[in-house]
Amino acid sequence: MLVIDDYVSFLGDLDPKKGVFRKKGYEGVEVRDKILVFRGSRGSTVGTYIIYSISKAGSAPKAMVVDKADQIVITGCVVSNIVLGEAVNFKAKDLVGYNGRRALVRIERNQGILEILDN
């Protein structure tokens, strides 16, 4: 699980060819096969294409969980077939303790369930 208690600019913060962050404090951190938890996106609508690009390159996260879903993240996840969840009873900052930890995560599509099981 990768938790970023901040907004992400997919155009500036993520290298679409490598699927790694350039964002300060997360430089070189890979998103592939992780549950990416963050506040939401910021910046250009090109972010949708960046999400699609990392998906096509095989470097996409398994799922994204955001405090507030917006058009960039929603569209990017839809066209890339990435599971997207919007936080309802918690915020990204509440999950910072799980950052970098291997955990079993269960996401039930269409039911609004995010369950973190201790591994």
Element (H, E) at 77: helix 71-80
Question: Among residues 44, 53, 55, 80, which one is catalytic?
Answer: 44
Contacts of 54 (CB under 8 A, 6+ apart): 14, 16, 19, 31, 60, 80
55 is catalytic: no
CA 55 to chain centre: 12
> What residues are annotated to the active site?
44
